[in-house]
Amino acid sequence: MKAADLRSKSAQELEKELLKQLEVQFKQNMQKATGQLGQTHLLKQGKREIARIKTALREMAGKQS
């Protein structure tokens, strides 16, 4: 998801998306540890997605104060 798309969402939607991405990342890390993850590039993509969401949340928090 692009940063512009994230900025258009509400804080609650972003928090839900963040939880979903963290869950996916956890599952992928477990698959990697057990040798079942074939597409290791997904780990890096997931980390970047989480960072984008957290950045959008911080920007929202900065605008409110």
Q: What is the CATH number of the domain that holds 40?
A: 1.10.287
Please report which helix (H) or strand (E) contains residue 29, including its range. helix 11-33
**How many other C-beta atoms are found inside a 10 Å radius of the C-beta of residue 59?**
13
Please give the pLDDT value at position 62.
87
Q: In this structure, what token pair is assigned to residue 30?
A: 């477990």
Domain that holds residue 36: 3-60
Residue 54: is its pLDDT beyond 80?
Answer: yes
When divided into structural domains, the chain yields a total of 1
Residue 65 lies in a domain: no
pTM over 0.85, yes/no = yes
Q: Distance between CA 1 and CA 36 in Å, rounded?
A: 26
Please give the pLDDT value at position 1.
78
User: For 26-46, what is each residue's pLDDT tens digit?
Assistant: 999 999 999 999 999 999 999
Q: What is the mean pLDDT of the chain?
A: 93
